[in-house]
Amino acid sequence: MSEFAVVEAAPPIEVFQLSRDCQADTHTQKINLGVGAYRTPEGKPWILPVVKKAEAQLAKDIDAETINHEYLPVLGLDSFATAATSMVLGKDSPALKEERAFGVQSLSGTGALRNGAEFLFRQLKRTVFYFSDPTWGNHGLIFKNAGFTDARKYRYWNKDTCGFNFEGMIEDLQNAPEGAVIILHACAHNPTGIDPSQEQWGKIADVMQEKKLFPFFDCAYQGFASGDLDQDAWAVRFFVERGFEMFCSQSFSKNFGLYNERAGNLTVVVKDKSLIENMKSQITLIVRAMYSNPPAHGGRIVDLVLKDEQLFKEWCECIKVMSSRIIEMRQGLRERLEKLSTPGQWNHITEQIGMFSFTGLTPEMCQFLLKEKHVYLLKNGRISMCGVTPSNLDYLAESINEAVN
Ligand code: PMP
């Protein structure tokens, strides 16, 4: 009898299972609205032209041996981490001017969250964390595996209005214990696509300051949401201006289309620059034990683009292409559902921003779409707008219409 006979089957990761099921489906009109990855109007993955240019440059640098495959430092490529930190905080950030912010290259957004969570658990002995209800499916697992023992939710989605439950969120934050770590989506909330207004962020900051709660921003969609890097970083910068110490995980998966290159950064903002050296030395040990040092390729691409004026301009254009296509698809879907007089309100589809729409479809409706219509979506009703294209819009709207009726 094997020692491993005790191992029980873990539940599948819904979003990856959906992709596998969709791939195996031979129906000609199948649509994959599960995975959050950008698709062209033809439904294909997109390598950003600016990324290809940067890769061509890197190939030349490899050829000339000005770069190589030696280990990066444990905390990663310093110029990348600095550029990423400046991208989210803004060049004029008081935290940068006062040299009390730094970055740690991480294994994309997921790895930045894990590095930050490990640090907060090990060094500050934090055990309580809050995430929005609902949130991205990995937040709970990352923090629990880092050692946090008390996972709590703050209210976020109001299913009656398909909108933001602001009062619920504030009440839950008001009842949180001092020192609790609060995961906040910097922009383009996943899965609801609803962000607080600037005024609401003000109130959230008031409560968090009063109750001494620790903000951990998750910034996975900067630029991808509105098409504008500064606009999408507004909330993070506002918290810095309000004087918070905080962490912010950054992902370059979506805005650079670098999903599998694991390009990410953990931005850290503290009150006093003299603290940084000790903090870096402890994060170094955390990273050393987990993966020793990060991969270079994705970080180098981002670094090249962020530092070169012309490439940066081209990248901003790419971001606009992606965000505009998604906004168009939102309009297209809403128009069609309204034209079909599909029961219910569909204004939330255009009011939500970012990659996802939280449709408000019930689990039964989602099941109908999956089984009868070959439309693959999460059972909580989240759809990735990237999977919607001009050629499947009609079929999708008609299918949703049937599911609701
Ligand atoms: N946070 C949120 C809210 C996300 O949606 C994602 C990607 N789905 C991530 C973090 C991390 O993604 P990655 O590890 O690919 O950067």
Is the distance from CB of 109 to CB of 251 less than 8 angstroms?
A: yes
Ligand 1: residues whose CB is within 6 Å?
36, 108-110, 136, 185, 190, 218, 220, 251, 253, 259, 264
Helix (H) / strand (E) element for 130: namely strand 128-133
Is 150 a known active-site residue? no
Distance of CA 380 from the midpoint of ligand 1 (Å): 18
Name which residue sits closest to atom 8 of ligand 1, judged by CA.
36
Q: Please write the tens of the pLDDT for every residue from 59-115.
A: 999 999 999 999 999 999 999 999 999 999 999 999 999 999 999 999 999 999 999
ipTM value = 0.99
Question: What's the pTM?
Answer: 0.96
Question: CA-CA distance, 329 to 390, in Å (whole number)?
Answer: 7
Is the distance from CB of 197 to CB of 166 less than 8 angstroms?
A: no
Is the distance from CB of 236 to CB of 248 less than 8 angstroms?
A: yes
pLDDT at 222: 97
Count of Cβ atoms closer than 10 Å to residue 103 Cβ = 27
Q: Please write the tens of the pLDDT for every residue from 32-42.
A: 999 899 999 99
Is 78 a known active-site residue? no
Q: Best mutation site among 106, 114, 138, 353 for ligand 1, i.e. most ligand atoms within 8 A of its Cβ?
A: 138
Q: Please write the tens of the pLDDT for every residue from 88-101.
A: 999 999 999 999 99
- Evaluate if residue 129 carries a pLDDT over 90: yes
Is 254 a known active-site residue? yes
Distance of CA 85 from the midpoint of ligand 1 (Å): 17
Q: Please write the tens of the pLDDT for every residue from 195-220.
A: 999 999 999 999 999 999 999 999 99
Q: Best mutation site among 16, 136, 216, 265 for ligand 1, i.e. most ligand atoms within 8 A of its Cβ?
A: 136
Q: Please write the tens of the pLDDT for every residue from 258-305.
A: 999 999 999 999 999 999 999 999 999 999 999 999 999 999 999 999
Q: What DSSP assignment string belongs to 221-261?
A: -TTTTTS-HHHHTHHHHHHHHTT--EEEEEE-TTTS--GGG
